[in-house]
Chains A and B, each alone.
Chain A
């Protein structure tokens, strides 16, 4: 696999690249309940775009509007420059892989996959050829004559994927594609999905509530909350530079501290955290008023643990005792309790092969991190 095929050309950064899917001010009102609230999104050709959010955030409604099963109450959706508003699902260049897979139980694998091509009115020979090509791509050639009830969950999922992909859609929608699979199969399928997306070049849009799935799969993602998109960016941007507490907390683990600005100087702000009785540093390009309240967020893996007090300048330093210790093999997670009773999570990679631990329960430790590791949140 080519290293960057999965993130093709970073089209969203190219200034003259026209978006392939344009979602313009789309809202959906269900009898007074605003499921989707004025969403604007541009998705580029060949992207694997993820919509991420907790259940009830409106992501499924957005997906259904793209497929044509729901009509927007306001705004419009353009695919390859064509307004989709008045186009019914059966005429859209969009196909969907349902969360339930919805593989027709009364048709064998072959017929399931050929169904969409037959509806297009293609010649029998072309149907046969395209079906056998796609069966090979999803590695189901030997199961062509099986009925869905004779397949495993993973195989049914691949039938559903093949059935949608064989139509060569401009946009493939995937509704929680991995939710029904067990852990081992999920990992395998994630990479397989990315691989298939590379090979076909079809624009994928994945809807999921699982941030790991979204991060691994997607080239870019949008985080939704209460019907609105609150942040869009690459997985790295969203993880490292979350725009607010909700996003920061939704993606993995993060320590949050409420602080007051006491000094600003050369893009490094000095803050005071009353709860911890400590001085915390953060770098921020924005200007902050003295005495204004900000939240400082720091990821566990950015925190250093040491027995001796670190002495470098502008380092945020906290003291505490090891309260809890989790050994995960590749890394260890430490939950450190400060004097004021707050629990702070830090993680360290287990680079050195050793049967004994360097830090034990109730050990006194210093936690420290660079100003650049702190994320400044004002919301």
Chain B
């Protein structure tokens, strides 16, 4: 009995993954090999049985072929990768000094600063994006203040631009970069930096030689936490982005709800997953030797 229970405890996370990740993905994967139909469900079944034919197997690669041929999808994928990559980089550049300052703050301040970083999560994500819409709009806070100060005469076009998308993503995902970086930098032994200085390293050199390489696990963890959700981001580009900011999340949405083409959207999603698995494998590659070192 005890052993059964113990086995279950070990199995529980795998069961969770199986039920909520692998099984749904298998269904999506299966649908991606069907043709769309005006029916319910709106796609052809993989196996059919009728009176005339005992058993029929229907399988098509049309969706993938179409995906390769129509550059709309590639433009979306590329655009998503570009926006996610640049946003991750911006997040990293902004977060590193913040996380570093937090890690070196007086003990009493650390928790306060940490609390301030997490604070935005207490408001709905959607609400915060809407707030940015009103700040950036033609009659928004920024344009109104700039115009009343006489710096500009015509309102700037801020909303519905790529700039707004970057702003939205960086703003929304910043805590996901700060937290793993802070966790890493906070436990970094100061002796390493002092030893490097003692051996003749000037402050910037010490940062390059010691601090940066030793905080690499934090940088990778934070970057993945920003990059992966940013690539599939749907809300921010559709609310803040222009018509041309066609990120893959939006394309997927259009395909699914606009065209009701389930098989096509399933294929788009499958390719997206493949794109995401790649950086994760890179992460694994860097993570495992690091963990061995800790042990």
Contact = CB atoms under 8 A, between A and B. Distances in A.
The secondary-structure label for the interface of chain B is helix
Interface residues of A, number: 26
A96 B193 CA distance: 13
B213 interface: yes
B194 A106 contact: no
B293 A104 contact: no
A147 B199 CA distance: 19
Nearest to B189: A100
A75 B202 CA distance: 25
Given A98-B191, A102-B194, A106-B214, A149 B201 contact: no
Given A105-B293, A120-B200, A100 B191 contact: yes
Nearest to A166: B199
A98 B205 CA distance: 20
A106 B209 CA distance: 10
B198 A95 contact: yes
Interface in B178-222: 189, 191-192, 194-202, 205, 209-210, 213-214
Contacts of A351: none
A105 B196 contact: no
Contacts of B210: 104
B108 to A, nearest CB: 14
Contact of A149 (B196, B209, B293): B293
A299 interface: no
A95 B195 CA distance: 9
Contacts of B191: 98-100, 102
Interface string A94-114: 111011101011100000000
B194 A69 contact: yes
Contacts of B293: 105, 147, 149
A89 B194 contact: yes
A65 B223 CA distance: 39
B199 A116 contact: yes
22 contacts: A67-B194, A67-B198, A69-B194, A69-B197, A90-B202, A91-B200, A95-B198, A95-B199, A96-B198, A104-B210, A105-B214, A105-B293, A115-B199, A116-B199, A119-B199, A119-B205, A120-B200, A147-B293, A149-B292, A163-B195, A163-B199, A167-B200
Interface of B: 189, 191-192, 194-202, 205, 209-210, 213-214, 292-293
Interface of A: 67-69, 88-91, 94-96, 98-100, 102, 104-106, 115-116, 119-120, 147, 149, 163-164, 167
